[in-house]
Chain A
Amino acid sequence: MQEQGGNGAAHWASAACRDFDAQLSDYLEGGDRSAVAMHAAECAFCGTILSDLLLVRSASTELEEDEPPARVWANVRATLVAEGLIRSPRERRRWVEWLLSPIPAAAVTAFVLLSVFTTRNLLHRYHQLAAQKVVRLAVDVDPGLQQSVSEMEAAFRAHSAHLNPTIKRAYEEDLESLNGEIKECHDTLARQPDDNLSREYLVSAYTEKARVLESALELGDGDGR
């Protein structure tokens, strides 16, 4: 039975409507209740209820996140400092230790010192940029990150001769592979600027390239010869 009425009148639920009510929750949870959909198609009231609930569910699912005010971090940071959980800024102990150790040859010293300082700055910049990139989802690659990677690559080329030839070749193959990924993603984005997946892979390739270069520069400084 399905009653129709004017504005403000109650809708008398038929047996089918009551079954619909009873099964609606399961249906919305993904249960196999084909009777629910069939009844919703026949009954205007129940159809409206189902349509509304599906909309409510999907709207809730897609609800965007809110940005907290900046004072939240300021308060958290102040407490962490007060409690001693945040220590002095990160230092690359390895570099310091290396600099304090005896250096076998003056020429190598001068060269590596230059590399070390260059590398430190580049790595520091990379880490800063990477930390920023973490929260900037699916956006274009930061020009600063690209430039930093490019400078790290130049530093790698400059002292890769000191690496074990096998390792040097491996790094070069990795960089070639990542450069291929970067080129392909750029080309795709030029044709399909809306392709977020290509953008995601592009940022990914740059980030990975920075990591590979970081690893190569660290290895070149101490090991792998």
Chain B
Amino acid sequence: MASIPSRASKAASDAELIARAQRGDEEAFAALFEVHKRRVYSLCLRMTGDTAEAEDLAQEAFLQLFRKIGTFRGESAFSTWLHRLVVNVVLMHLRKKGLQQVSLDEPDGSQDEPVKREYGDDDKRLLHSIDRITLSRAIEGLPPGYRAVLVLHDVEGYEHNEIAQILDCSVGNSKSQLHKARLKLRELLRSQRLPASMSGS
């Protein structure tokens, strides 16, 4: 009962494809790439906010994956393993670029912003849906530290203890940065004033 469209079947398919890729089977490499490319690329894109960088990083992540695939013994879920690898590649890149904000244990004081409390047109509620382009653009506009924690938690579904491990910070720090990131994102969304995505209450 393997089901290709389900996550269950993807796991089964992964196991087969990994075994074949470990033997140098090109079809298996290609299929693994096909299965995971969107998630890998999107994670790179959200974390960097730049398509060219995201392409390079996705490429680098897949190369690292395929070079190491012989060492994968199945102790963890393949997708988890891959995901961690991608996050590491992206963080390494961001740190090389000198974006120290990625380290959440050294928060940038300028990022600490209280909840905005002002009247006016800006206080209208966001509409019930936000289109993906608007949201993607707003996420790209976040400071790297905020963007990293928001992407990992809200977009990719990591828990705070995992984020704390990945970003080498405390769980409390991850939580507080996420909250600030959401507030900042809200502010960015409201400031974009795109009629397609927002309206007055």
Contact = CB atoms under 8 A, between A and B. Distances in A.
A and B touch in their complex, CB below 8 angstroms: yes
B135 A63 contact: yes
A13 interface: yes
A90 B25 CA distance: 6
Contact of A11 (B17, B42, B118, B154): B118
B54 to A, nearest CB: 8
B63 A79 contact: yes
Interface string B6-27: 1001100100010010011111
B146 interface: no
Given A8-B119, A65-B38, A85 B67 contact: yes
Interface stretch (B98-106, B161-169, B183-191): B183-191
A56 B127 CA distance: 10
Interface stretch (A24-32, A98-106, A109-117, A159-167): A24-32
A7 interface: yes
Given A8-B120, A77-B29, A87 B10 contact: no
Interface stretch (B72-80, B88-96, B174-182): B174-182
A213 interface: no
B31 to A, nearest CB: 4
Given A51-B126, A131-B31, A65 B42 contact: yes
A58 to B, nearest CB: 9
B196 interface: no
A9 B120 CA distance: 7
B125 A48 contact: yes
A134 B13 contact: yes
A194 B92 CA distance: 44
Given A25-B179, A53-B186, A208-B1, A76 B27 contact: no
B35 A135 contact: yes
Contacts of A65: 38-39, 41-42
A57 B63 CA distance: 32
Classify the secondary structure of B's interface with A: helix
Contacts of B194: none
Nearest to A91: B25
Interface in B58-76: 58-59, 62-63, 66-67
Contact of A68 (B17, B23, B38, B201): B38
Given A67-B41, A204-B2, A90 B27 contact: yes
Given A55-B130, A134-B34, A68 B55 contact: yes
Nearest to A75: B59
A49 B124 CA distance: 10
B45 interface: yes
B115 A61 contact: no
B136 interface: yes
A108 to B, nearest CB: 31
15 contacts: A6-B119, A8-B118, A9-B119, A48-B123, A55-B126, A60-B150, A64-B132, A68-B37, A72-B41, A77-B26, A87-B23, A130-B13, A136-B5, A201-B3, A203-B5
Given A28-B179, A68-B41, A134-B10, 20 more contacts: A9-B120, A12-B117, A25-B175, A29-B160, A51-B126, A52-B125, A56-B126, A56-B189, A61-B155, A63-B46, A63-B136, A65-B42, A72-B37, A76-B59, A87-B26, A131-B27, A131-B30, A134-B34, A139-B5, A204-B2
